[in-house]
Structure 1
Amino acid sequence: MATPKTIQIFLPDGDPRGIRVAEITTRIVQVIEVPRSLLQSFLKMPESGQVALYFLIGESDDGTDLKVYIGQTGDLRARLLKHNKDKEFWERALVMISRTNSLIKTHAEFLEWHCLQESRRAGRYADENGTKGTRPHTPAPLEADCLEIFETGQILLATLGHPIFDPVAAPVATAKTEELFFCKGSDTNGRGLYTPEGFVVLKGSVGRKENVPSIIDTAHHRLRLRLLESGVMREEGEKVVFAKDHLFRSPSMAAVALLGRNANGWLEWKSAAGKTLHAVKRA
């Protein structure tokens, strides 16, 4: 169960859009967010000389998919300079270090492996690492330290706007019946959850394959094409099926993806009792 936390964010340059250093005030782990354009400024900071775990964050060309590369190093300056030269996709680096400079290579190697597994499990960011990774041998006391470091890093990354390890929706098995909403129509049987981030259409939801003529060549049509191209939806006969949970910024976009037509998601999504999402959440 989540407990209250006090998180401090320090702005070295006084610019909220620049380098940001986040920490839970009672713990030693820090996460430093570095815009790529300010990489040289970060490399002059003493924190860049530590053993570190790092995350390179970027988007696909059309801005619809998030990407992450996870790595660890004992020579952070050299590694980030190499990635700046060789990797095109990333826009920000998130660097996890210890305020007391107490991370060692064994910590970093286990954390890299563990973070790769947890990122893939969450499925929120596309994986740019390309390999499965091998679990390193880690003594039990160090592994316990690493899991505590990971918990802190997970919270700090999400606080900075990068919830790499958080699934877009809690497992359906843990959701209460009254939290589920349904979108039903011709060839459509969708299930979803309204969350603080937006509306999540759940894996296995079924929608219409065909678009109505009025949305052809519109943003709604292009949205459905992207969902198919990215593998979020797959075609099955005359229907489309969601291959995984997917977060939409609004209930209406979630309904459009299923129905293949213009839709007001606040009215299309209904509870098991038949009440609209509007009636349950806004009225």
Structure 2
Amino acid sequence: MNEQLKTFVQVAETGSFSKAAEKLFISSTAVMKQMNVLEKQAGIPLLNRTNHGVRLTEAGAAFIKDAKFMLQYYQESLIRMRQAAQANRYIVRVGTSMLNPCKVLIDLWNGISSLSPQFGISIVHFEDDAHTLPATYRTIGQSFDIMVGPFLADRWKAHYRMLELGSYRLCFAVSRHHRLASKKTISVTDLYGERLAVVNGGNCSVIHEIRDFLIKNHPQIRMKEVPRLYDLDVFNRCEESNTVMLTLEAWADIHPSLVTIPSDLDFALPYGLLYPLHPSEELHQFIALIQEMNVDRLGEPK
């Protein structure tokens, strides 16, 4: 039943058996078979199949929220079960995505994990979708305990704490066919006459400063303000429209058709851990360990 629920959620979100199959790494035939079994067990149709895709029936629309809840509850139950089986061992749930990878934290943790056997890590994937990310930021501590990434969402700072681990360099991303694609560094003056996409759906103060600096000092650049969060769709649109995009060095390999080139902007964007406002005592201890390890790594307090 768990696999059928996962498949049902993917079909509902993508509106397609084939797209759901790609997400789940199974065949379209397997997806259809699972949906047939689920509908047979339910005793009513959950999906309308058309030549233009798949849509939820009224019953399916009523069931989708419950399906997502059951999947989340199932994952949380597994964690509780494993915690009980491992006695005093505390499992820290780390959220990860393409734009918010957890590698920085894992690298830090691998350096001290043998000295802290009371902790373990469970990786929880979430989607980089501009429509769902606001809820992800606001509910840190529910589906996962820690999120690793750049501090881009000042708008929701009241919902989580932050532990800074370092900073990312600002870069420009251009299509591989763009006139600037072969440059080693892109200066601001190279962008005169170009469209520059500045994404700031999170109301990030650093992005605001960069935007204001460019508007005031370099009006020759055609600014395109994007009032949404960074997600893969933004990268796709910038590549398709041959628009330059303000981006981060950490995202150099996100889109295969974009080249990420360092800029001469004198700005940096902090990155680190986002965690609940009221962490458990165990999570607080884990955060303290990471902070201590990071101070040793940098040689200075954060």
- Whether these two folds match at TM > 0.5 is no
TM-score, normalised to structure 1, is 0.30
Q: Normalized per residue, which structure has more helix?
A: 2
Q: How high is the TM-score relative to the length of structure 2?
A: 0.29
The higher relative CO (CA closer than 8 Å, separation ≥ 6) is in 2
